[in-house]
Amino acid sequence: MSGEVGEAGVDESQVSVPLPVRLRFGHAAVQRVADQVGVDLLHIKGASVDPSLRPGAYSGSDVDVLVRPSGVVVLDRALRAHGWQLYSTFEHGSPFGHAQTYLHPAWGYIDIHRYFPGIRLDPDGAFDVFWADRHRIEIAGVGCDVPSVTAQAVLLVLNAARSAKGARVDVVTVWHDADDARRDEMLQLVGRLHADVAFAAAAGGLERYRNDREYRLWKVVSGGGSRAAEWWARIRAAPDTRAALRIVMRAPLVNVDHLAHRLGRTPTRGDIVVEFLRRPVFAVVEAVRSAIRRVGPRRVVR
């Protein structure tokens, strides 16, 4: 009889290793694979974060790595050859299309990032910035490259800009509680990465960018809003007409990866058709609810 699947995606009846320990082995495992095929990657978030930025030693629920863009295809093939199964693709895993998720029967989930949301510098240039100031730490006995402490702090803030409210504790620790010197270093790096708008969405000061094409996107992502509002914001944030048209064409499509996870099986054509028809109805309901919230309760005049 199979056991229950835990938060790291492994059968808990077969594996008794505590999650934080398992994640550290996950970092080590993906590093070994990357070393074998000669792919540069940086470990970000979770167990790889410097203790000074997360005193509570939070390890997360999966492994996150930022990969040199030119090595993504090579690493994808190598991971699959070593028993990692593709869980969600770049196209369907996130509206930003930045990460692809894999699942290993022993190590759980790993997210392969080809770029980081909020950074406008081209992916190759951004990776070079992080790579130039990297340093090596040991995770589960394996040497793993991580960004500088300042870069880690910036990434935590950018991550918080599109995360649930609970993740905002990172903003307090790495930004609000930081000294002036650390803040200056972070802002200089944010400028080099062209990540000002997304950073402000989490750290404060987003209204300074009201005229920026990405303002509405980060307003919705960081503060909440309907899916329709988010898609319109993504269209407005597109750098050119071609990119905007790609978003328009993608918006009505069913996210097959998410549907499969929700159903717990591979969707049939019928499932996809039903989901396709359900989406506009859900969008209308969501828009009505959003309008009601904006108007608020009416006062009764007697």
User: Does residue 76 belong to any structural domain of this protein?
Assistant: yes
User: Does residue 251 belong to any structural domain of this protein?
Assistant: no
Q: How many residues does the chain have?
A: 302
CA separation for the pair 117, 205 (Å, rounded) = 18
Query: What are the structure tokens assigned to 89, written together?
Result: 């693709």
**Domain extent at residue 46:** 1-204
SS3 category, 43: strand
Q: 90 near 31, Cβ under 8 Å?
A: no
User: Does residue 216 belong to any structural domain of this protein?
Assistant: no
Q: Is the pLDDT of residue 193 over 80?
A: yes
**Cα torsion through 180, 181, 182, 188, rounded to 10:** 100
Q: Which amino acid is at 66?
A: L
User: Does residue 210 belong to any structural domain of this protein?
Assistant: no
CATH number where 117 lies? 3.30.460
Place of tokens 């540069």: 40
Mean pLDDT, range 236-258, rounded to an integer: 70
Angle, helices 149-160 vs 180-193, to 10°: value is 70
pTM, entire model: 0.79
Q: 22 near 29, Cβ under 8 Å?
A: no
User: Does residue 236 belong to any structural domain of this protein?
Assistant: no
Count of structural domains, the chain: 1
User: Does residue 230 belong to any structural domain of this protein?
Assistant: no
User: Does residue 299 belong to any structural domain of this protein?
Assistant: no
Tens digit of each residue's pLDDT (9 = 90 or more) over 104-148: 999 999 999 999 999 999 999 999 999 999 999 999 999 999 999
Tens digit of each residue's pLDDT (9 = 90 or more) over 248-290: 666 555 555 555 556 666 667 555 445 544 655 555 444 445 5
| Alpha helix segments (H runs only) across the chain | 19-37, 72-81, 90-93, 123-132, 149-160, 169-171, 180-193, 196-203, 215-223, 227-237, 241-250, 256-263, 269-295
Tens digit of each residue's pLDDT (9 = 90 or more) over 153-165: 999 999 999 875 5
